[in-house]
Amino acid sequence: MLFSSSYLARPKVELHLHIDCSVSWTALQRLETGLSFEDFRAKFTAPERCASLKQYLDAIAPSCALLQDARALQVVTEELVAELAQDGVIYAELRFAPHTHLAGGLDLDGVMAAVAQGVRAATDQYAIRVGLILCALRDYSAESNIAVIDLAARWRDRGVVGVDIAGDEAGHPLAHNYATFDRAHDLGLDITAHAGEAAGAESVLEALEKLRPKRIGHGVRCLEDDAVVALLKARDIHLEVCPSSNVQVGVFPSLDQHNVDKLSRRGLSLGINTDARTVAPISLSQEYERLESTFGWGPGEFLAHNLEAARHAFQPDAIRAELVESLLTGWKSPRSVS
């Protein structure tokens, strides 16, 4: 890894990361796609500030096209987990929408088996723990999304830790999926939900009231409504904040105008995430460097937000306690990164 940062050696937790936005150059080389590095950067990466959502989505399309067979899913996942470990991440939750990987003939369980195999191959080699989150999609039918919830329940003992709802927040209200998430509750699944990114505080409120999640993906626009902020705090809801990704899609015009520092000062539980390591392209250590130079954040802030993320990880108490312990130890004395 050419990038050098003191944060590489610090243990980190990343809870919000999409596999299909994180296809690495190493994975592409292993898959022998024949693409040059220049082609890879041109096709799989979006500009730091996209002129439109379309420009951002254009950068995800080649990854989706690639991730339609078991080997591609396995290799891309394995290389992503390896990259996270090299970035000093000790616990990651990776998410994906299983229905978007069926065009090559895989069925939903085939998709799960390939991703799980990729996780296993990397976690056998690196000191990192990984949980999988399955995404329902706002623009998919309730029937398809219920299939995702049932799939998550079936794979719970094989790496799945929770479910999410993703997709175009502004264009697709949640109403037809309220019952989908009632089912997730009935099955005892942990829930996070994308909200408060492309739409405002009312979208965060809707997700809170109707889906009853433990965490919100992004949620940054909650600051538009004090009552929503109060509710988030009262329910101890954790925000998975992805600063550079928000700037890339235009939620904020620049990082110095991002509200992550304000969210933190308001006492909300939040963690720092990349959302998309290739489409961005950024590592978690780089994200920390940017927050350090923009807001003057240092080890105190980063440890506190990592502890919040660990406390809200979709894991049993004993594992969350282990993560907290590793963070406290590692931020006192940096460990060496393999």
| Footprint of Zn ion (CB under 5 A) | 275
- Among candidate residues 78, 197, 206, 301, the one labeled active-site is 197
Max intra-chain CA distance, the chain: 53
CB of 25 to Zn ion, least distance (A): 22
What are the beta bridge partners of residue 164?
Answer: 135
What's the rounded Cα separation, in Å, for the pair 103 and 122? Answer: 26
Taking the complex as a whole, the smallest distance from the CB of residue 63 to Zn ion amounts, in Å, to: 14
End-to-end CA distance of the chain: 11
Q: What angle do CA 52, 53, 56 make, to 5 degrees?
A: 100
Q: Among this protein's residues, is 197 annotated catalytic?
A: yes
Kindly report the number of other CB atoms within 10 A of residue 156's CB atom: 16
Which of 275/287 has CB closer to Zn ion? 275
Describe the strand order of the beta sheet including 12-18 as a list of residue ranges: 12-18, 89-96, 129-137, 160-166, 190-195, 215-218, 238-241, 269-272
> Which are the contacts of 282, defined by CB distance < 8 A and separation ≥ 6?
244, 274
- Report the residue number, 79 or 275, with the smaller CB distance to Zn ion: 275
84 CB-near residues (< 8 Å, 6+ apart): 14, 17, 92, 128, 284
Q: 190 vs 275, which CB is nearer to Zn ion?
A: 275
Q: Tell me whether residue 160 or residue 220 sits nearer to Zn ion (CB atom).
A: 220
**DSSP assignment letter at 174:** S
Which residues neighbour 25 within 8 Å (Cβ) at sequence distance 6 or greater?
Answer: 37, 40
CA nearest to 280, candidates 320, 245, 253: 245
Work out how close the CB of 217 gets to Zn ion at its nearest, in angstroms, rounded to a whole number.
5
In whole angstroms, the minimum distance from the beta carbon of 242 to Zn ion comes to: 7
CA distance 76 to 230: 40
Work out how close the CB of 227 gets to Zn ion at its nearest, in angstroms, rounded to a whole number. Answer: 25
**Nearest distance from C-beta of residue 237 to Zn ion, angstroms:** 16
Cα–Cα distance for residue pair 216/235, rounded to 1 Å: 12
Active-site positions read 197
